[in-house]
Every structure is written in structure tokens, then in C-alpha cells.
Amino acid sequence: MNETSQFLARHGVPILFAAVFVEQLGVPLPAAPWLLAAGALIGAGQMGWVMALGVAWLGSMLADSIWFYLGRRYGNRTLGFLCRVSLEPDSCVRRTQNVFTRYGMKGIVVAKFFPGLSTIAPPLAGGSGASAGRFLFFDGIGSLLYVGGFIVLGCVFSRQLEQVMAALSDLGGRALALVGVLAAAYIGYRFLQRHRLLRELRGARISVEELRRQLQAGENPVILDMRSSEELERDASVIQGAIHLLLEDVEKRHHEFPHDRDIVVYCSCPNEATAARVALLLQRKGFTRVRPLLGGIDAWRREKFPMDLRPATLAGAGASESSANGTLESSVVQACPRSK
């Protein structure tokens, strides 16, 4: 047995618990290598499978329960915090909401196998009002399948993984330190990229009160709803006069937008990250009057400002919307006629 295997055999239980717990809290340190290594040790007879499975499952459940409680108590503020620390703020909440829309509480199980979603799912479930018992049931199944799946794989391929661990031991501390530095550099780059995106558009954002005043004054800005199709099916209401589009539709049909009016973009992510991305895209296409909506549709709802219920034929974008209304430009004109 090499030094790496010996170390894991001696300290594998607390390491396994900590690795899964930290990963499920949202720290970008994958637990899969440790779960695979535990499976390899089980296959070699150096670790008990009940203990390994139990502590890994407990680490996952404890972290998820903490996020569920915080989501229940603080709601969108918890999601906002996770978006701020996420490496993918534009998709962290959006993809998880899509999973919940499609699978319901079973989405807790599905989300376990997707990085990022597994951390967002518990507070989203807590904020949605799901019962603690129902959450723990599905989360327990998902956690068991997740940690158990990797442990079983490690056990099946224990001989090959033993060879990999031996090779890592032969590399020495310097090679492993280099891997750690490269990983830290990648994480740092993604964080800087995210902060730059938010900083560039923070000053351009428009508040819901200002947008409401524009509508009342007849300024008729073009309002783009950038939520997913799945989310719109779950809640078809949009801000008064808004047109629903997908991100790919904006890329393909930006030439149909007017240049002489404000374009207000909103989504449902707590940090308006999707709206910010669309705004940057339109700015690079030559649109100078693009503004993300501060707080998104949730801020508009809190103020109880007017909402529209989009007809089913207008809920989507792309070809279906074109066939129903002609070009996007005609849709814009119908939804927001020009002031005379």
C-alpha cells in the first residue's frame, strides 16, 4: 500500500465527511475523488463500507439541512448570497428553477448530480415552502445515490485507482502543489470575471420605481423578460408590456430592436446576472440605451406594480412568436407603441 492509501486508511472517515460537507456547502472543492478513493479502499479491504457510506451521507445531509433552514428563514437573501459567491451567477438559480419546474421535489435528487445545482436546490426548496420532512426524504435519497454511486465506482475500479494514487505519490509534493496553484488561479479568474461583469453594469441599472414612472409618462421603453420558458410556464405573468425572449433569440434577432428607446432587461436571478449578460451583449451590438432592472421581476412584484398575463401563443420566442405576430419588431411596436 502506498503512502496516499495509508493516509486515507488511517484518516479516511473524517476526511470523507469533511470533503462531502464542504462540497455541499458550495465550496468549489469536489468530493468525488475522495469518494472514489474510499471505494478503492473498501475494495482493498482497508475501510468498512457501512462507515464510509454513513459518514459521507451524513456530511451531505448536514450541509443541505443548513441551506434548507437558511432558505426557509431568509428566502431570496440566501439565494442572493449564493449567487454572489457562485462561479456561474448567471445560471446558478435559473438552472435549478428549471429542474424544480420539470421534476418538482424530485428535482432535489436530480440536482445532486450537477455541480452548483446541488448547493442551490436546498435553499430554493426551503424558500418555496416545502415541508422539512418532504425535503429530508428526497434529499436523503439523492445524497445516498450520489455518495453511494461514487463509492461503488471506486470499489469496482479499486485496482486502477490504487495505481493512480501510487502515481500521485510518486509525483511528490511539488507536482501536487502546482495542481493546487492552477486550480486556485482558475477559481480566482472566474471570480474576477464575474465581479467585472457586475461592476460594468451596476451604474446602468434602473429601479422598478423609475421604470414605473417611465411607463406612466408614456416613454414606452422596450421591456425584455429573460426568464426561462419553464419558469414562464410555471408563472406566466410578466411586467406590464414586457416581451419574453430567450438568450439565443436576443443574439439572433437583436437587429429588430429599436435604437431610439430605452431597452430594459430583467430576469429572476437575485443578482440580475442574466439581465446583465443580455445588456452587455446588446451594448456590444451598438445599443447604448440598455439597462438591467434592479431586483428583477421580484422587485416589481413587491411593489405590486401592474402585471400582464401573456397569452400562450406569445409565451415563447423565436419561430412560434414570429408566426403569431410577424417579426419581433412588430411585437415590440404592439407591446410598446411609440409616443406621438
What confidence tens digit (pLDDT) does each residue in 88-144 have? 544 556 666 666 667 778 888 988 888 777 888 898 888 878 899 999 999 999 999
More confident residue, 247 or 332: 247
What confidence tier does 320 reach under pLDDT thresholds 50, 70, 90?
very low
The reported pLDDT for the residue numbered 322 is 38
Kindly provide the b/e burial profile for residues 268-277, where b requires at least 16 CB atoms within 10 angstroms of the residue's own CB. bbbbbbbbbb
Burial 136-174 (b: 16+ CB within 10 A, else e): bebbbebbbebbbebbbbbbebbeebbeebeeeeeeeee
- Quick check: helix, strand or coil at residue 288? coil
When comparing pLDDT for 321 and 59, which is higher? 59
Residue 172 region by backbone torsions, left for phi larger than 0, else alpha for psi between -120 and 50, else beta: left
Which SS3 state, helix, strand or coil, does residue 307 take?
strand
Q: What is d(CA 1, CA 70) in angstroms, rounded to the nearest whole number?
A: 43
DSSP H helical segments within the chain, as ranges? 3-25, 32-43, 49-74, 76-85, 92-103, 107-111, 117-127, 132-156, 158-202, 208-216, 229-234, 247-253, 273-284, 296-302, 319-325, 328-335
The pLDDT value given to residue 250: 85
- CA 249, 260, 286: angle at the middle one, nearest 5? 55
Q: 266 - beta bridge partners?
A: 225
Q: Can you give the pLDDT at residue 67?
A: 93
Q: Higher-confidence residue: 95 or 332?
A: 95
What is the CB-side half-sphere exposure of residue 179 using CA atoms within 13 A? Answer: 8
3-state DSSP of 260-277: CCCEEEECCCCCCHHHHH
Give the predicted TM-score (pTM) of the model: 0.59
User: Look-up: residue for cell 419546474?
Assistant: 101
Q: Cα–Cα distance between 327 and 231 in angstroms, integer?
A: 24
Through-space distance between the first and last CA atoms of the chain, rounded to whole angstroms: 83
pLDDT of residue 7: 63
Q: What is the CA radius of gyration of the chain?
A: 24
- Whether the predicted pLDDT of 194 surpasses 90: no
**What whole-number distance in Å separates Cα of residue 178 and Cα of residue 169?**
14
Q: What's the one-letter identity of residue 339?
A: S
Number of other residues whose CB lies within 10 A of the CB of residue 53: 20
- 337 versus 307: the higher-pLDDT residue is 307
- Pick the range with the lowest mean pLDDT from 31-35, 131-135, 270-274, 322-326: 322-326
**pLDDT tier at 200 (50, 70, 90 boundaries)?**
low
* 97 vs 240 pLDDT, higher one: 240
Amino acid at position 213, single letter: R
pLDDT at residue 147, rounded to an integer: 94
Question: What are the grid coordinates assigned to 319, written together?
Answer: 419561430
Q: 3-state class of 291 per DSSP?
A: strand
Domains and CATH numbers, the chain: 3-198 (no CATH), 208-335 (3.40.250.10)
| 235: phi then psi, degrees, rounded to nearest 5 | -140, 100
Q: Residue 327: what pLDDT? A: 40
- Residue 206 scores a pLDDT above 60: yes
pLDDT at 171 over 80: no
Which amino acid, residue 305?
F
Q: At what angle do helices 32-43 and 132-156 cross, to 10 degrees?
A: 60
Q: What mean pLDDT do residues 4-11 have?
A: 64
pLDDT band of residue 254 (cuts 50, 70, 90) is: confident
Query: What average pLDDT does the chain have?
Result: 76
pLDDT at residue number 195: 64
* Percent of all residues in the chain with a pLDDT value above 90, rounded to a whole number: 19
